[in-house]
């Protein structure tokens, strides 16, 4: 009876040590993220104090192509802010229906545009339009939750329009973009202004300038400027911290 009791104590002690070891070795994603209830339009996952929003499905593709979009967002001005040159190689991350992709492809006529999205249906819509318009400097790329799936140092400009706040793994995605960007490349982060409650977009689908800067600087980027000439959105520009290149001096 005594020996059995001793064996039982040893078993309990072993279980305790195992549990302690498991608690110390959390999966990588839980080291960066916390999980708790929040906005009904969020996923209950938080990064640096911000809850991640639910992804807008491909069913909302008509909203991306709405006729009012130019007036509401001044997309023509956004493209001017990017100062796209004929030879630029650009990645549109979260390209959706390709609304910006085809406009950029015309400007980067001697360059190339990667249309990256996680939803195959979005990429199919872009490919169909590309075939119809016979545009040969666009390539669709299937992204993942943690990577834009581009080679290192392969693009000079990256555009993210109203999509970053929906990334399930923002830290990993920023690091992936950091790898894909050339040394003097730039990221253009476009997000609805959370500072303005009058903008008719759900709060969880907005970001403050401060929050965006904190998240990108935490993963190797340097904030350059916020070009505040869009009606509803921030136009935040980031470069790699290793260089002091300023986009307005091009």
pTM equals: 0.84
Q: Please give the Cα distance from 213 to 222 (Å, whole number).
A: 8
Upper half-sphere CA count for residue 6 (Cβ side, 13 Å): 3
Number of domains, the chain: 1
Q: Is residue 101 part of a domain?
A: yes
DSSP for 115-157?
A: EEES-HHHHHHHHHHHHHHT--SEEEEE--SS-----TT-EEE
The per-residue pLDDT for 29 is: 55
pLDDT at 73: 95
Asked, for residue 117, whether it belongs to a domain, the answer is yes
Please count the residues of the chain: 250
Please give the Cα distance from 240 to 79 (Å, whole number). 21
Domain limits for position 164: 63-245
pLDDT in tens, 180-220: 999 999 999 999 999 999 999 999 999 999 999 999 999 99
**Could you tell me which residues come within 8 angstroms of residue 89 by beta carbon, excluding any fewer than 6 positions away?**
108, 111, 112, 113, 114, 154, 155, 156, 157
Residue 45 within any structural domain of the chain:
no
Say what the pLDDT of residue 104 is.
Answer: 98
Residue 31, pLDDT score:
85
Give the integer Cα–Cα distance in Å for 143 and 147.
6
Query: Is residue 40 in a domain?
Result: no
pLDDT beyond 70 at 11: no
pLDDT at 243 over 80: no
For the segment 34-56, what is each residue's pLDDT rounded down to a tens digit?
999 999 999 999 999 999 999 98
Judge whether residue 68 has pLDDT over 50: yes
Whether 14 maps to a domain, the answer reads no
Residue 94 belongs to some domain of the structure: yes
CATH number of the CATH domain containing 81: 3.40.50.150
Asked whether residue 35 is domain-assigned, the answer is no
Residue 36 in any domain: the answer is no
Kindly report the CA angle at 140 between 88 and 163, in degrees rounded to 5? 80
């Amino acid at each position: 009876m005594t020996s059995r009791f001793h064996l039982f104590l040893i078993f309990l002690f072993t279980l305790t040590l195992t549990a302690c070891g498991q608690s110390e070795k959390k999966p990588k994603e839980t080291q960066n993220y916390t999980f708790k209830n929040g906005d009904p339009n969020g996923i209950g996952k938080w990064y640096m104090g911000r809850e991640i929003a639910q992804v807008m499905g491909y069913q909302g593709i008509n909203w991306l192509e709405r006729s009012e979009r130019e007036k509401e967002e001044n997309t023509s001005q956004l493209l001017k802010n990017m100062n796209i040159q004929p030879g630029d190689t650009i990645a549109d991350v979260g390209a959706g229906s390709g609304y910006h992709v085809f406009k950029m492809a015309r400007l980067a006529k001697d360059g190339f545009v990667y249309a990256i999205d996680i939803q195959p249906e979005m990429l199919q819509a872009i490919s169909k339009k590309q075939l119809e318009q016979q545009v040969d400097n666009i390539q669709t790329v299937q992204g993942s939750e943690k990577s834009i799936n581009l080679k290192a140092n392969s693009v000079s400009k990256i555009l993210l329009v109203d999509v970053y706040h929906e990334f399930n793994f923002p830290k990993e995605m920023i690091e992936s973009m950091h790898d894909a960007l050339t040394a003097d490349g730039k990221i253009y982060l476009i997000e609805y202004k959370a500072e303005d409650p009058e903008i008719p977009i759900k709060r969880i689908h907005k970001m403050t300038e401060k929050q965006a800067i904190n998240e990108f600087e935490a993963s190797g980027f340097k904030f350059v400027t916020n070009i505040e000439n869009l009606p509803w959105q921030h136009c935040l520009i980031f470069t790699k911290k290793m260089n002091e290149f300023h986009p307005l001096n091009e």
